[in-house]
Amino acid sequence: MPNAGKLHLRILWNGMDVLGIEVKSTRPPAYHLLSGKSPEDAVKLVPLLFSVCGKAQQAAALATVSAAQGRDMQQLEKFERAVLCEAMQEYLWKLLLDWPKLLGLPQLETQFIRWHAALNVISTDKGNAEDLLAEMHQVLLGMTAKEWQQLDTHDRLLECIKDKQGLLAPIILALEFSESRLDFSGVPTGCSLMSTWTPTEVSRKFACHFGTEFAQKPQLNGNPLETGALAKTQHLPFVRDILRKRPARLLARLIARLIDLLQDVQARRRIEQITVANGIGLSMVQTARGMLLHHVRIESGRIAQYLIVAPTEWNFHPQGALTYLIGFREGNMTRLVETAKLFVMSLDPCVDFEIEVVHA
């Protein structure tokens, strides 16, 4: 497996204000290894190249190659189920292990292991997804699915979280507290949230841009975008109210992931494909981190070009979501780094990251 690389966040700081943010990824474009392969070999190789979201990558590869060959994806239902369960496992990993660790709270390993195993069973079309979701509502939030779905404001969310005291209450309240105390020297600006696109729309918007530069630093009309659960749920009144009250998006991203995690299984569609032209295919897969895009061109029975645009490349674009930190006021370097870690974790990179503070 190729080196996964790392995400480097460099913060330019004058001792009080953040003056600039530099984001650099050393993740290699592993998809270059697919050039010259047969379509069948490429599909087999893709999941071996990625240690994270391997099932989503495999499904995207199969969908895009099938589209390039003018065929519908075979066993779509099976792959939809596998991708969904993988995304739920990724959400649970962050909620029960990574977020508690970052916030100095006890990690919930036993609960994670049990639910992770249950999702493995469900991914094989066994087990009971509805029962598992009902249990997650009660354990994570201390409420029923109906009570959760009736929440419609930021204030009501906090009221219920404090009252019900589910497993996630300390995490939600800690993020709420941290975000409420953020101070900026000016009015911060963040990149736009990605719209919900069809494969046809993606092909039309980006067809002339598909290349290595775009795959590494994707943007639309010169502007970076944020993908993920928040982008997908931004239209919900509940999410809109949280964004109004907490525009830094720390709490909103967490709640959006909870909404996606706890959504009715039958309501989810994660894999889409389109034949762009003869020998050219495009697929979109919704992962826990956002839109995963595969694009392939097949010539003479071989891969002439293969591109993968992962959610991390959207969310950690050098001019992307983390530039919101510019203007953040903090005179203590330790607290500055702790806050930066909250922002990085809320965007959930699929590689390790490191933070460097440089005095400017």
Distances (CA, A) of 190 to 194, 289, 324: 12, 18, 5
In this predicted model, what pLDDT tens digit does every residue of 67-93 receive, in sequence order? 999 998 988 889 999 999 999 999 999
The pLDDT assigned to 49 comes to 87
Q: Could you tell me the fold of the domain covering 6-359? A: Cytochrome-c3 Hydrogenase; chain B (1.10.645)
In this predicted model, what pLDDT tens digit does every residue of 27-44 receive, in sequence order? 878 888 899 999 999 999
pTM of the model: 0.93
Q: What is the mean pLDDT of residues 304-331?
A: 94
User: Cβ distance 60 to 42 under 8 Å?
Assistant: no
Those residues whose C-beta lies under 8 Å from the C-beta of residue 91, and which sit 6 or more positions away, are 257, 258, 260, 261, 288
Cα 121 from Cα 318, distance rounded (Å): 39
Q: What is the mean pLDDT of residues 344-357?
A: 91
In this predicted model, what pLDDT tens digit does every residue of 103-113 receive, in sequence order? 999 999 999 99
Q: 6, 5, 86, 1: which is closest to 49 by C-alpha?
A: 1
**Amino acid identity at 250:** L
Cα 103 from Cα 99, distance rounded (Å): 6
User: Cβ distance 346 to 250 under 8 Å?
Assistant: yes
Sheet holding 352-359, edge to edge: 18-25, 6-13, 352-359
Count the helix, strand and coil residues of the chain and give each as a percent rounded to the nearest 5: 50, 20, 30
Q: List the chain domain ranges.
A: 6-359
pLDDT-based confidence at 1, cuts 50/70/90?
Answer: very low
Cα 69 from Cα 299, distance rounded (Å): 10
The pLDDT assigned to 267 comes to 59
The pLDDT assigned to 2 comes to 52
User: Cβ distance 110 to 353 under 8 Å?
Assistant: no
Residue % of the chain over a pLDDT of 90: 78
User: Cβ distance 36 to 337 under 8 Å?
Assistant: no
Q: According to the annotation, is 308 in a ligand binding site?
A: yes
pLDDT-based confidence at 211, cuts 50/70/90?
Answer: confident
The pLDDT assigned to 51 comes to 75
What DSSP line would sit under 240-294, residue for residue? Answer: HHHHHH-TT-HHHHHHHHHHHHTS-GGG---EEEEEEETTEEEEEEEETTEEEEE
Identify the sign of the CA torsion 122, 128, 130, 133.
Answer: negative
Average pLDDT, the chain: 92
Q: What's the length of the chain? A: 360
The pLDDT assigned to 332 comes to 95
More confident residue, 199 or 298: 298
Does pLDDT of 153 surpass 70?
Answer: yes
Those residues whose C-beta lies under 8 Å from the C-beta of residue 340, and which sit 6 or more positions away, are 9, 11, 325, 355
Q: How many CB atoms lie within 10 A of CB 321?
A: 28
Distances (CA, A) of 83 to 15, 270, 326: 45, 7, 36
